[in-house]
Structure 1
């Protein structure tokens, strides 16, 4: 897998050149294969991750092993917000949903860098606020919008984060992201395919009509896109 520009992470790209150069020596590019677990629940966090084109899900694991996705994070943000808030653990798993690359930084170095860089710390706090809003938006979406609308919104978000209309994701993984059974997501995918919005084959979904996909989705996509657009403004 070829290296991507470090500025592919939109959160880091909002930093000034001097602040970014201060952080750069501590960042390393890493490949994140599909299904890799970055964090285990209530275990120490070793790294913070800034995705470049990978998509990571924060996953709640219930008794009995059932998994529920809380939200997904891509090149708009970072994985490891407990480090910003002064803790070293998270009660969820972090799992690679779509394979790709990320920049990572050791947790101890990241925490010390935050303490010595007010601009970076302020940016990370604003990101935490937006991420909390994203999780809340997802909860409202599950309650108020149809599974098909939610699927359209989430596919649009994935395309933004991957930077390509081709999404390497299984329908099983998509069903967990959308919050429906696999049979339900199969029906949605087939419906969107017949409408010409997406193409699909085993393990891959291709966005064919992005404008149509957004129109078929709920308002959540537009709401979150606006929120992330404000991240660069204090």
Structure 2
């Protein structure tokens, strides 16, 4: 269940860097009709084929975009955190979700109806341009992850995934289960357990009861494939502050 918070919208939107980078007039036009909700881990925001009635701007949470295959298997194709948004690509007529969007990390999200958001985009073309730019970013990330999933070893892919989570959340500490990682990487849970154990033995991460601490980011980056740098490089710098 989600609970509506009492935050003033003008304050809440600043936690999301996509919104914070909008000019004041555009941001105020959205904030006037925006509300903030708290969502639990596992909450599904969109399912494949569902109409996207709400546009989401995450604050301190993380949303995993999963592509399902025949309703039985799924692969994570992108992560959306405080740098981005979900639900609008700027493509005329695209109102149905092509993916399942599920909360990987709990937290708050700024919400606005798709109807009102489209009205703002029609009036403030800069908003639409920002959406198109971010949509291109997500597409590039999905392509990179598809290549990574096919060509790279699991340990390198796990390192890439953990580094991406760290970058999106801007934190060395986060919660994630082996089961969720297995779904995200499209592998069996035992494979994730083995790869995570290897990273722990190298003292790159600490992992206990779902809590992950990245101990050595540069070392983890060396174990990761080059896909992490490609994914980070696609995100416009103004949406992503530097995390050393």
In structure 1, stretches of 5+ residues that fail to align are: none
Q: Which residue of 2 aligns with 1:135?
A: 142
Q: Which residue of 1 aligns with 2:99?
A: 92
Deviation at 1:91, TM superposition (A): 2.7
1:156-186 CA distance string (max 9 Å, x none): 1111222322211111001122222111100
Q: Which residue of 1 aligns with 2:242?
A: none
Is residue 123–residue 231 contact of structure 1 (8 Å, CA) maintained in 2?
Answer: no
Deviation at 1:121, TM superposition (A): 0.7
Number of matched residues?
231
Q: Which residue of 2 aligns with 1:79?
A: 86
Residue 43 of structure 1, aligned match among 47, 50, 74? 50
Q: Distance in 1 between matches of 2:107 and 2:205?
A: 21
Q: Which residue of 2 aligns with 1:110?
A: 117
Q: Which residue of 1 aligns with 2:25?
A: 18
The 3-state SS of whatever aligns with 1:26 is coil
Give the RMSD, CA atoms, in angstroms.
2.0
Name which of structure 1's ranges 127-136 and 67-76 shifts more when overlaid on structure 2.
67-76
TM-score (norm. length: structure 1): 0.91
Deviation at 1:72, TM superposition (A): 1.8
1:221 paired with 2:228, answer: yes
Is residue 53–residue 161 contact of structure 1 (8 Å, CA) maintained in 2?
Answer: no
